[in-house]
């Protein structure tokens, strides 16, 4: 089992021979241990342990349950989570295996959320949405969809303004760097009026007077615009919201007029156009997979799923997270955003993805409905649930 743990579990490794033997012999011997990252929560019974605690003999539950030299993790939830990292050394008759114990660890604290394995076929995820290409603030790789959408929108706006340009951000000047850094609009309705350099809406617009410095700096800028014969200027950022729910300023719409003032209604029109551009870019840069993938276990804080899909197996391990729909049998879907916490891959190429649920769905009450479903399963299994 190949494993990449995104967020390392807080755990203590037991290295002293006596302590390892005590832990295994007293708490794990003759008990069932679960095998991590298996769809059916495979288990074994620990039959014996060597005196130096370096080897164990386990009873498997099926023929050819493990391959020789494969690395597996056996675990059990006692007061805290106990884990044995093992290598299969020998297969014996009656599905018994000798394993080398490479590491013994115990969680530093109890689990924050109780986990439950749902009945087979009762919970699954589908409609997975993630990016084809990573779009980030560095813009090292600009997808074709970005360039095409920028060019199409620029052609639409060209007849309306003396000068118009839509492009990705580069190190091209103070004004553009300011728009990229703040994510706000730079709007100067009349470059020859000092009042135009102030903003009455600091949340959405840059106060250019404050950024320039003092009245002398504003006067210099007025002269600069007069020499360039620019009467009105507007720079609107194009803010891309990726599948990790990050707002990234990827470009700008730049409009200038020489004789006519740009109106506030035109500012709002261009701002709306940037939203349309982002929607089109997201749609063309999105992988949507409608297949069902089983939920192996879940808690009120997250879930673990098994995935095997050609578009997802290579993409998901590289992503911070992705959006998907959770289905509880006979219920409407719950839309969620999951942060990838762990990724494991078995010899057959299946991915086992641990996800923590973060953010809120667009539909009110979705998170509460998810928690209510999980708590109901926990209660049915006899696990005490927190009423809050």
Q: What is the pLDDT of residues 109-152, one digit of tens each?
A: 665 677 788 888 999 999 998 887 777 666 666 778 888 999 99
344 vs 267: which has the higher pLDDT: 267
Average confidence (pLDDT) over 253-268 = 96
Average confidence (pLDDT) over 293-314 = 90
Lowest mean pLDDT among 183-197, 198-212, 247-261, 304-318: 304-318
Average confidence (pLDDT) over 245-249 = 83
3-class DSSP assignment, residue 228: helix
Q: What is the pLDDT of residues 309-332, one digit of tens each?
A: 988 888 888 888 889 999 999 999
40 vs 216: which has the higher pLDDT: 216
Categorize the per-residue pLDDT at 74 as very low, low, confident or very high, splitting at 50, 70 and 90.
very high
Q: What is the pLDDT of residues 340-365, one digit of tens each?
A: 988 888 778 889 999 999 865 556 67
Average confidence (pLDDT) over 371-383 = 85
Per-residue pLDDT, 191: 97
Domains recognised in the chain with CATH numbers:
2-107 (2.30.110.10), 115-133+287-381 (2.40.10.220), 144-285 (3.30.450.40)
């Amino acid at each position: 089992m190949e494993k990449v743990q995104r967020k390392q579990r807080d755990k203590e490794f037991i290295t002293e021979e006596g302590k390892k033997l005590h832990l295994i012999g007293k708490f794990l011997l003759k008990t069932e241990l679960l095998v991590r990252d298996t769809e059916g929560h495979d288990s074994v019974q620990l039959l014996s342990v060597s005196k130096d605690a370096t080897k164990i003999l386990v009873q498997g539950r099926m023929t050819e349950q493990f391959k020789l030299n494969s690395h597996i993790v056996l675990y059990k939830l006692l007061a805290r989570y106990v884990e044995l990292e093992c290598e299969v050394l020998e297969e014996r008759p009656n599905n018994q295996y000798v394993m080398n114990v490479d590491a013994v660890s115990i969680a530093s604290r109890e689990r924050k959320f109780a986990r439950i394995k749902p009945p087979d076929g009762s919970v699954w995820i589908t409609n997975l949405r993630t990016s084809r290409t990573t779009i980030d603030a560095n813009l090292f790789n600009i997808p074709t969809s970005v360039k095409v959408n920028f060019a199409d929108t620029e052609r639409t706006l060209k007849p309306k303004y003396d000068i118009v340009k839509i492009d990705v951000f580069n190190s091209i000047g103070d004004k553009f760097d300011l728009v990229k850094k703040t994510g706000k609009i730079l709007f100067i309705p009349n470059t020859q009026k000092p009042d135009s350099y102030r903003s009455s809406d600091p949340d959405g617009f840059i106060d250019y007077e404050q950024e320039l410095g003092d009245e002398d700096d504003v006067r210099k800028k007025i002269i600069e615009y007069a020499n360039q014969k620019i009467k009105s200027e507007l720079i609107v950022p194009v803010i891309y919201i990726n599948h990790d729910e990050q707002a990234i300023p990827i470009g700008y719409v730049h409009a200038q007029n020489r004789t006519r003032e740009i109106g506030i209604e035109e500012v709002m029109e261009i701002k709306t156009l940037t939203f349309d551009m982002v929607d089109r870019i997201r749609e063309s840069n999105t992988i949507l997979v409608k297949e069902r993938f089983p939920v192996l276990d879940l808690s009120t804080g997250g879930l673990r799923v098994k995935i095997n899909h050609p578009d997802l197996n290579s993409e998901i391990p590289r992503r911070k997270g992705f959006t998907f729909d959770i289905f509880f049998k006979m219920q409407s879907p719950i839309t969620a955003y999951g942060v990838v916490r762990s990724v494991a891959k078995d010899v057959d190429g299946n991915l086992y993805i641990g996800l923590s649920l973060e953010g809120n769905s667009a539909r009110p009450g979705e998170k509460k409905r998810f928690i209510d479903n999980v708590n109901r399963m926990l209660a049915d299994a006899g696990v005490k649930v927190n009423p809050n």
